[in-house]
Amino acid sequence: MKKIFIATALMAVVYLNADAQSIGTIKLQNTIPVSATDTKATIIAKAAHVVPTSNQLSALKNEFIAFIHFGPNTFTRMEWGSGKEDPKVFDLKELHTDQWCQSMKAAGMKMVIITVKHHDGFVLWQSRYTTHGIMSTGFENGKGDILKELSASCKKYGLKLGIYLSPADLFQIESPTGLYGNLSKATKRSIPRQVSGRPFANKTKFEFEVDDYNEYFLNQLFEVLTEYGQVDEVWFDGATPKTKGGQQYNYASWKKLIHTLAPKAVIFGKEDIRWCGNEAGATRNTEWNVIPYIQNPNTANNFADLTEASLGSREDLYKGKYLHYQQAETNTSIREGWFYRDDDKQKVRSTDDVFDIYERAVGGNSTFLLNIPPNREGKFSPEDVKVLTEVGKRINETYGKNLFTGAKGPAQVLDKSLNTYLLLAKPEKSIEITTGKPVTINRIVLQEAITSHGERVEQHTLEAWIDGKWQEIASATNIGYKRILRFPEVTASKFRLKVLSSRAAPAIATIEAHYYHTKPSQLQFDRDVNGLLTISPKTHEFGWNPHGQNATENLGKGVEIYYTTDGTEPTAASKKYTGPVSIAKGEIKAIAIAHKDKGSIATETFGLIKKDWKLLTVSSETDKNKGAMAFDAKKQTYWLSEANDSKLQIAIDLGAAHNLSAFVYTPPKSFLDGMMEKGIIQISNDGKNWETVESFEFGNLINDPTARTHYFKKAVTARYVQVQATTIAGNKKALAIAELDFLER
Ligand code: FUL
């Protein structure tokens, strides 16, 4: 150990020694405490010995899993319910869980997590402890049980099952006899509470000192974990649309119950799995799963959302008192929003988009959790099924065939097993692989032996022997469970992986090579205030460059963009895009085509052109964030009111009277403290006398700050419009609007 304390300049040497000597002294553990006397080098050596539990490893191996958001919101078209819904709004006539499972299987998913209770408190199973749920609906005369049907389909199709049970419960908050925040005392309670006529087959009993709401929650956990087969993940959402009575959650008792009844389950939102930090499918370029903690994560009650860009770098680790393995789950929805709304008003992600997130998430040391919201017929909609099927096919075609099969190199890395590995203890730290014949590849998959050695690689490059010399073809930072390197295709027969820096001698378990049939770019639209539209290849807000996708530089050189404005699908016979075009309001669809190979269709509905719009009044504005920025056609700029503004309203002169059918609110992504959760729309034809025409409500804006559309019940004609916020998300006070748009029929 001595060498660890000296010579920080000789990093590589120090780490090798640290590894060689520490195997005996630092035990592989899921959590390793840092002591006050630890040097930086010791902290890093410790981090290199933090490993996943066997449940965490199984969860990582799932790679691609499904989320189901289903409930009253599916029928009310809301993102967040209120808890005051009549259960009968859940007007389900049919349920097709086999169809869900078939589609998930086709996509290559391994598990499904269902919202058995979302924030509205409505339960999808036959709970003994509430009537606010499926038992009070017409579905199968109140006898239906969605969890039961899904669990049966999961068994049939070989899928694992996970449970989302929302701790926030608006029904229990809002109803007069509700248990949430009712100020009850914590006393000894037996779980499960027996209900006459409905005995449990599972005879396990618990005693916890908890209040009424925690007792209710534990009883429900008992039901879902004992009566529906094996549960592999329990998902605790951190969102709290509303609180009451200072309600606390007694997580220690929940954990005890889960560990006893579902010993294979990982717990999301707590010590096992963390949220990736966004709901848009963003991934970090460097996603470390060894994370520093100030409090011991094994005894902590509350876990903060970790949204920072960097979580487990050396500098981050130095600040920790515990180093803990906690993997990221990249969660997003295949549709705009988590719940189904309408096939014609709710965009579905393209196959290209989902496949791209798959590669970034799974190939970026996390698990990809994709939500597919069933529709009001109890089915996945055809468009969603199509995308899932195509994604599965693409994953299979790309990753089902390893082009290093039969190649020469260390057997431990070529045998596809995570259990065998090559420990790179030599200073050069490289691995060479030679194929019999030259291969053309554009993807490399790397895995570290994380259970026997932890995450160690910090920087690596991949080289190919081209024109008589080694040439770098890709480089990245960490590897961990899995890293997918994406790069423009190369043809060679000699490849070399070089580890440039690591936290200890890295143990490389797998190196595979693949070829992806590259598609023409996904496209994005940008329309300025004058209505001039630019179509360009989609850029990623989130760093990872989609190497090898035919980008703008290829436009005109084999790649063309075509578009339509009449709602029809664009083809090579449609209008060719050659540069910015003026388009009026309405729907635009565009596609990139390269040598007859078609990209995915991008669709966007544009509202009125804002050229003639004028700010009529604004209740307040701040220095850099003026009222007019709410309609300057630039999503990066935004209007921000003052914090003590009691009106929170903005009135706009549209320049002429229009027949308005909807309005779109785009919140600023860079400022999450001014989200318009609720409000009203007023219209006027003289700019003085206002008539309220609609009220609106947008849920889940802080976690998912995406554009929201409110469709008017009836179209209205007006020249002047006024938007007034009545509630700002998260009890904040100021209002922020990046863009307002109005759709005309
Ligand atoms: C969020 C919730 O508020 C959303 O409604 C959704 O369930 C998502 C997965 O997590 O925090």
Upstream peptide bond of 580 is cis (omega within 30 degrees of 0): no
Per-residue pLDDT, 25: 84
pLDDT digits (tens, 9 = 90+) for 64-83: 999 999 999 999 999 999 99
Distance 491 CA to ligand 1 centre (A): 44
Residue span of the structural domain in which 579 resides: 523-606
d(CA 608, CA 619): 24
* Residue whose structure tokens are 């005996």: 24
Looking from the CA of 221 toward its CB, the CA atoms found within 13 Å total 30
Q: Is the pLDDT of residue 6 over 50?
A: no
Distance 239 CA to ligand 1 centre (A): 7
Residue 188 lies in a domain: yes
511 lines ligand 1 (CB under 6 A): no
pLDDT digits (tens, 9 = 90+) for 377-401: 999 999 999 999 999 999 999 999 9
Atom of ligand 1 nearest to the CA of 80: 5
Atom of ligand 1 nearest to the CA of 115: 7
Lowest-pLDDT choice from 26-30, 123-127, 408-412, 515-519: 515-519
Which of 606, 627, 647 terminates a domain? The answer is 606
Residue 36 lies in a domain: no
pLDDT digits (tens, 9 = 90+) for 566-594: 999 999 999 999 999 998 878 999 999 98
Q: Which of 338, 702, 708 to mutate to test the pocket of ligand 1 (most atoms within 8 A of CB)?
A: 338
Percent of the chain whose predicted confidence (pLDDT) is above 90: 88
**Which residue type is seen at 428?**
E
User: Of 381 and 4, which is predicted with more confidence?
Assistant: 381
Number of domains in the chain: 4
List the residue whose alpha carbon is closest to atom 2 of ligand 1: 239
List the residue whose alpha carbon is closest to atom 4 of ligand 1: 700
d(CA 669, CA 274): 21
Structure tokens at 509: 């378990």
Residue 557's pLDDT band, with cuts at 50, 70 and 90, is low
For Cα atoms 506, 510, 511, give the angle at the middle one, nearest 5 degrees.
105
Per-residue pLDDT, 596: 81
CA distances, 128 to each of 172, 175, 197, 215, 216 (Å):
15, 18, 10, 13, 10
Within this chain, do residues 666 and 648 fall inside the same structural domain, yes or no? yes
Residue 214 lies in a domain: yes
Per-residue pLDDT, 126: 98
Average predicted confidence (pLDDT) for the chain: 93
Per-residue pLDDT, 2: 29
700 lines ligand 1 (CB under 6 A): yes
Residue 23 lies in a domain: no
305 lines ligand 1 (CB under 6 A): no
73 lines ligand 1 (CB under 6 A): no
d(CA 48, CA 39): 14
Within this chain, do residues 509 and 527 fall inside the same structural domain, yes or no? no
Within this chain, do residues 658 and 685 fall inside the same structural domain, yes or no? yes
Query: What residues have CB less than 8 Å from 623, skipping those under 6 apart?
Result: none
User: Of 259 and 15, which is predicted with more confidence?
Assistant: 259
Within this chain, do residues 278 and 304 fall inside the same structural domain, yes or no? yes
237 lines ligand 1 (CB under 6 A): yes
Q: Are 676 and 698 in contact (CB under 8 A)?
A: yes
Residue 536 lies in a domain: yes
- Residue 175 sits in a domain whose CATH number is 3.20.20.80
Strands 233-235 and 160-165: parallel
Q: Which of 237, 274, 276 to mutate to test the pocket of ligand 1 (most atoms within 8 A of CB)?
A: 237
Which of 575, 606, 637 terminates a domain? The answer is 606
Atom of ligand 1 nearest to the CA of 331: 9
Query: What residues have CB less than 8 Å from 246, skipping those under 6 apart?
Result: 181
Per-residue pLDDT, 23: 42
Within this chain, do residues 455 and 507 fall inside the same structural domain, yes or no? yes
Within this chain, do residues 583 and 714 fall inside the same structural domain, yes or no? no
30 lines ligand 1 (CB under 6 A): no
Lowest-pLDDT choice from 6-15, 145-154, 458-467: 6-15
Burial of 426 (0-12, 13-18, 19+ CB in 10 A): exposed
Per-residue pLDDT, 541: 52
Residue 538's pLDDT band, with cuts at 50, 70 and 90, is confident
Atom of ligand 1 nearest to the CA of 166: 7
DSSP symbol at 103? H
How many residues are listed for the chain in this entry?
745
Distance 147 CA to ligand 1 centre (A): 19
List the residue whose alpha carbon is closest to atom 6 of ligand 1: 338
Atom of ligand 1 nearest to the CA of 241: 3
d(CA 350, CA 352): 5
338 lines ligand 1 (CB under 6 A): yes
Residue 42 lies in a domain: no
Atom of ligand 1 nearest to the CA of 118: 7
From the CB of residue 439, how many other CB atoms can be counted at a distance below 10 Å? 18
Within this chain, do residues 573 and 654 fall inside the same structural domain, yes or no? no
Per-residue pLDDT, 629: 98
For 708-721, the DSSP string reads EEEEEEEEEEEEEE
Distance 335 CA to ligand 1 centre (A): 14
Residue 538 lies in a domain: yes
Which of 332, 364, 398 terminates a domain? The answer is 398
Within this chain, do residues 461 and 346 fall inside the same structural domain, yes or no? no
Q: SS3 letters for 385-431?
A: HHHHHHHHHHHHHHHCCCCCCCCECCHHHHCCCCCCCEECCCCCCEE
235 lines ligand 1 (CB under 6 A): no
Q: Are 221 and 208 in contact (CB under 8 A)?
A: no
Residue 444 lies in a domain: yes
Per-residue pLDDT, 416: 84
Atom of ligand 1 nearest to the CA of 67: 9
Distance 338 CA to ligand 1 centre (A): 7
330 lines ligand 1 (CB under 6 A): no
For 225-277, the DSSP string reads HHSSS---EEE-----S---TT----HHHHHHHHHHH-TT-EEETTTSEEE-S
List the residue whose alpha carbon is closest to atom 10 of ligand 1: 237
Within this chain, do residues 450 and 501 fall inside the same structural domain, yes or no? yes
Per-residue pLDDT, 559: 82
d(CA 66, CA 161): 10
239 lines ligand 1 (CB under 6 A): yes
Within this chain, do residues 131 and 204 fall inside the same structural domain, yes or no? yes
- Residue 468 sits in a domain whose CATH number is 2.60.120.260
Structure tokens at 40: 């930086």
703 lines ligand 1 (CB under 6 A): yes
pTM of the shown model: 0.93
pLDDT digits (tens, 9 = 90+) for 160-196: 999 999 999 999 999 999 999 999 999 999 999 999 9
Within this chain, do residues 493 and 528 fall inside the same structural domain, yes or no? no
Within this chain, do residues 633 and 566 fall inside the same structural domain, yes or no? no
Atom of ligand 1 nearest to the CA of 339: 5
Average pLDDT for 88-102: 98
Query: What residues have CB less than 8 Å from 125, skipping those under 6 apart?
Result: 116, 133, 134, 145, 146, 147, 148, 223, 224, 228
